[in-house]
Amino acid sequence: MKFIHKISVIFLALAFMLSACTEGFEELNLDPNRPKEATPGVLLGQMQYRFVSNSMQAARNFTHELMQVDAPRASTSGQGLHRYVINPGAGIWTSFYTLLRDVEDIYQISDALKENNYKAIALIYKCWAYSIMTDLYGDIPYSQAVKADEGIFEAAFDQQKDIYIQILKDLETANGLFDDTKALTYAGDFVYNANTLTSGKNVGIQRWKKFTNSLRLRLLLRLSKRDGELNINEQIKAILADATKYPVFTANADEAIFRYPGTFPYFNPYYNARTLDWRDGTYLTEFFLGKLNTDKDPRRAIWAIPVVVNGASVFQGIKSGYPTTLEYVVGKNSSYPDALKTLPQMGVMMPYAEVEFIKAELALKGFTTGKTAKAHFNAGITASMVQWGATMPADFLTQPSVAYDDTQSTEKQLEQIMLQKYYAYFFVDYQAWFEKRRTGYPVLPRGTGIPAENQFPSRVPYPTYLQSQNASNLNAAVSRIGKDDSNVKVWWEK
């Protein structure tokens, strides 16, 4: 019995010691650098960075090759975007849907906290992301998307028309939610720094509101062919007629750009890219550089590396869609300069220049914008120069190759506007491709190496992994649109 008693005493002593050792354990092990609870500010900055980094890489890896900004140095397989071969795309699909879960979290947390400014920002990101997704693929999961916490693991695909109806409603809602007398309580905004007030007003929130309506203007113009179904023209007129209720970008300070600070962890995604990956495997094209050379455009020196040809320093491009037998020599043509890898203003969601080109087109079509199409055209070029830090020569806008000619046909004037808009879209996700699909401009030369059967694409085929993860809903969507290939036009393009 004494032995058993001794053992009991020992166990009691050990239990007491362990209890004493762990008393206050949770308090001692709290990380002072980690928030105790999730707030919209904690989620916002990281979400902004990841979204724009994904969209920037999409511009570099997809849009630039398809839209003849650049082309690979060699392409012996006969494949490639520059030959209009569009493979099923999973990159943006996977990354955007992952980030849209963060958007929903920000919205729900903000709603519980009665933080309307955060709710509005979340709606903007939701609308911006889904507009890109639906313009890429057509019908996509929307109303049932990112709802695994509600038990929905196989989301139905919504029709593009229905998605756009809700996007436009959400942008209208966001516009009404903003309150420029309040700072963002939990901070976290890297785009407009709407974290503080200046003389009682939140300039950042005012700019978020301008982005809301500028984005809405972009999307309404994209839906122009569907005016009869969604009353598009009346919505455009309402925005143009009331700058107080529906403010849009009016200066470069307004543009929606995540400016990479160059500090951990917010580096430009190409910050550490190898020379081979950044420029030696890809060169800018003759089409892209051709007009810049003709115009002596000062953006050349920011966007391209000069090369020496016959003793002279020039900006020289390569053909796009070239025959498979052609291979360009390393280092003999212009490509992206390393300075772009650290340039803060690379994280573009929507530039001010775009709004001016939108207004130029609207003015050309008879909408009341307050200025002529020519004035907006010139303002758009100027805004792009300012955005990229270029010094525009005094006579740049009046030289014959640039000057807006309002004596030409409406179609020719539209072509002028869209060509300059194309340059203003440098590194802006997929917008140059979407606008080419909408208007037909710019007119791209067709390389001799593009097979006759390859058509300029109208969409990206759905990711192949959906065939195993969401087959029934995928098949229903494919059946509805006709077939899952890049030649099928989405609803607004038909």
Strands (E), 296-455: 307-309, 312-314, 347-350
CB 280, CB 325: distance < 8 Å: no
Tell me the two tokens of residue 418.
């869209």
CB 265, CB 249: distance < 8 Å: no
pLDDT band at 297 (very low <50, low <70, confident <90, very high): very high
What is the structure's pLDDT at 36? Answer: 57
What is the structure's pLDDT at 10? Answer: 43
Q: Report the alpha-carbon distance of residue 237 to residue 233 in Å, rounded.
A: 6
Helical H segments across 60-202, by residue range: 64-66, 91-113, 116-137, 160-177
Q: Nearest CA to 316 among 299, 333, 303?
A: 333
On the question of pLDDT at 31 being above 70, the answer is no
Calculate the alpha carbon distances from 359 to 35, 222, 255 in Å: 44, 13, 15
Tell me the two tokens of residue 276.
């081979």
Question: Cβ neighbours of residue 27 under 8 Å, at least 6 residues apart?
Answer: none
Q: Nearest CA to 372 among 405, 418, 400?
A: 405
Query: Rounded to the nearest 10 degrees, how much is the dihedral formed by the CA atoms of 256, 54, 67, 351?
Result: 0
Tell me the two tokens of residue 434.
């979407």
Question: 53 or 9, which is more confident?
Answer: 53
Q: Report the alpha-carbon distance of residue 117 to residue 179 in Å, rounded.
A: 6
Q: Report the alpha-carbon distance of residue 295 to residue 83 in Å, rounded.
A: 28
Question: 8 or 90, which is more confident?
Answer: 90
Q: Report the alpha-carbon distance of residue 304 to residue 316 in Å, rounded.
A: 9
Q: Worst-scoring range by mean pLDDT, 35-49, 191-205, 422-436?
A: 35-49
pLDDT in tens, 69-88: 999 999 999 999 999 999 99
What is the structure's pLDDT at 90? Answer: 83
What is the structure's pLDDT at 394? Answer: 97
What is the structure's pLDDT at 21? Answer: 45
What's the chain's average pLDDT?
93
What is the structure's pLDDT at 25? Answer: 42
CB 121, CB 175: distance < 8 Å: no
CB atoms within 10 A of CB 63: 24
pLDDT band at 152 (very low <50, low <70, confident <90, very high): very high
Question: Cβ neighbours of residue 119 under 8 Å, at least 6 residues apart?
Answer: 106, 107, 110, 111, 174, 177
Instruction: Return the exposure string of 291-328: e unless at least 16 CB atoms fall within 10 Å of the residue's CB, then b.
Output: bbbebebbbbbbbbbebeeeeeeebbbbbbbbeeeeeb
What is the structure's pLDDT at 38? Answer: 81
CB 426, CB 69: distance < 8 Å: yes
Tell me the two tokens of residue 109.
């947390």
CB 427, CB 56: distance < 8 Å: yes
Q: Report the alpha-carbon distance of residue 276 to residue 382 in Å, rounded.
A: 33
Task: Report helix, strand or coil for 282.
Answer: strand
Question: Cβ neighbours of residue 463 under 8 Å, at least 6 residues apart?
Answer: 88, 89, 90, 93, 94
Tell me the two tokens of residue 260.
């990479």
Calculate the alpha carbon distances from 39 to 44, 99, 128, 174, 388 in Å: 9, 16, 22, 19, 34
Percent of the chain with pLDDT over 90: 91
On the question of pLDDT at 26 being above 80, the answer is no
Q: Report the alpha-carbon distance of residue 299 to residue 297 in Å, rounded.
A: 5
Q: Report the alpha-carbon distance of residue 14 to residue 11 in Å, rounded.
A: 5
- Residue 255 is given by DSSP the state S
Mean pLDDT of 214-236: 97
Q: What pTM value is reported for the model?
A: 0.92
Q: What are phi and psi of 226, to 5 degrees?
A: -105, 25
Q: Nearest CA to 454 among 468, 462, 466, 444?
A: 444
What is the structure's pLDDT at 33? Answer: 46
pLDDT in tens, 428-471: 999 999 999 999 999 999 999 999 999 999 999 999 999 999 99
What is the structure's pLDDT at 91? Answer: 81
pLDDT in tens, 366-424: 999 999 999 999 999 999 999 999 999 999 999 999 999 999 999 999 999 999 999 99
Q: Nearest CA to 68 among 346, 487, 436, 339?
A: 436
Calculate the alpha carbon distances from 41 to 196, 261, 336, 402 in Å: 13, 18, 35, 45
